[in-house]
Amino acid sequence: MTTVLVIGGYGAVGRHTATALTRLLPDATVLTAGRRPERAAPVAGTVALRLDTADPDAMDAAPPDVDTVVMCASHENARIARACLERGIHYLDVSASHPVLAAIEPLDPTARRTGATAVLSVGLMPGVSNLLARHLTDRHPGADLRISALLGSGDRHGPAALEWTLDGLGSLRGSWTADFPAPYGRRTVHRFPFSDQYTLPSTTGAATAATGLCLDSRPVTHLLRAAGRPAVARFLRRPDVRRLLLAALDAAHVGGDGFAVTVQTEDTTVAFTGRDQSRATGLATALAVTRLPLLNPGVFHLDQVVEPIGFLGELATHGSFTLHPLPSAS
């Protein structure tokens, strides 16, 4: 019997992860943890507990039978990862922040010594994007990858994800045109610091990789571009402005809840689409947990340990998502 602890397990991504785990692993015990579980709506089929990743002894206080930790919070990830891997506890992380993932990668020898597995780049982007990229680079080694996310401006994004997006504004310059499946069509995508662009050249045969973002609403995408200008981005990061902006973003729902991720090389585009990006991220993460018994000890990115088309096909079936075009598994 496995016991999975989802840290941030009642947040936007975490509650979908935890719910999907209760369905995919019906014999597992699923625990959801965070600093203030009493303030959150309970996640059916899970047990909530209090855990603050800022506490250096957080993992000492966790129940002793936990064998897998899924990190859906974005504070002290590397310290929690180390504490898990030193104890032989498997660790998965949905973070899209390259510095966070780069701080966990060096724990590979620790994981090998204790027999634990860490899987990074789990979720939608990174995650699904890594698998689409690997599908293409398996066929076109040395490809230059353009990875584009279209997010619904009316979708529910958790506070941590919105904070991450604000942090990324203005950090990278450049834009390109990406073709998304209907109903979105051709869109201008603005470069954004998703972690997969940094990791894919070393984990796949890609020559280069660039990641970008647009929103389903064209006017809001224009605002995103304006907000990326260094002076505006600096202004938006001021704590008082940031508080107001986060509240406004939480309240404003000007578009739909659809998402699309495309990965393109010079002459091929593959895509994954659906509704509710937090649900897609959570479902992909729970599906990655089910693969753990097949994996060797060590620290890996999802694209290094999972066969892309089998995994994406299963994810599409579970979540009513769509893989475009439907590539053959050969």
In the complex, the residues that contact ligand NAP under the rule CB under 6 A are: 7-8, 10-14, 34-36, 51-54, 72-75, 94-96, 123-127, 157-161, 164, 278, 281
Residue number, 74 or 221, with CB nearest to ligand NAP: 74
HEC-encoded secondary structure of 46-88: CEEEECCCCCCCHHHHCCCCCCEEEECCCCCHHHHHHHHHHCC
In angstroms, what is the minimal distance from the CB of 106 to ligand NAP? 20
In angstroms, what is the minimal distance from the CB of 157 to ligand NAP? 6
In angstroms, what is the minimal distance from the CB of 301 to ligand NAP? 12
Residue number, 320 or 328, with CB nearest to ligand NAP: 320
- E-strand stretches of 161-216: 175-180, 185-191, 208-215
Q: What are phi and psi of 47, to 5 degrees?
A: -110, 130
Residue number, 125 or 136, with CB nearest to ligand NAP: 125
- Contacts of residue 129, Cβ cutoff 8 Å, sequence gap at least 6: 147, 149, 194, 196, 211, 261, 263
Residue number, 34 or 308, with CB nearest to ligand NAP: 34
Residue number, 67 or 76, with CB nearest to ligand NAP: 76
In angstroms, what is the minimal distance from the CB of 62 to ligand NAP? 11
Token reading at 222? 């224009």
Residue number, 231 or 251, with CB nearest to ligand NAP: 251
In angstroms, what is the minimal distance from the CB of 195 to ligand NAP? 8
Contact assessment for residue 150 and residue 212, using Cβ atoms and an 8 Å cutoff: no
In angstroms, what is the minimal distance from the CB of 1 to ligand NAP? 25
Token reading at 41? 């709506």
Contact assessment for residue 10 and residue 32, using Cβ atoms and an 8 Å cutoff: yes
What is the spatial distance between Cα 158 and Cα 188, in angstroms, rounded to a whole number?
25
Contact assessment for residue 171 and residue 229, using Cβ atoms and an 8 Å cutoff: no
Token reading at 219? 């006017």
In angstroms, what is the minimal distance from the CB of 268 to ligand NAP? 23
Token reading at 43? 């996640």
Residue number, 75 or 112, with CB nearest to ligand NAP: 75
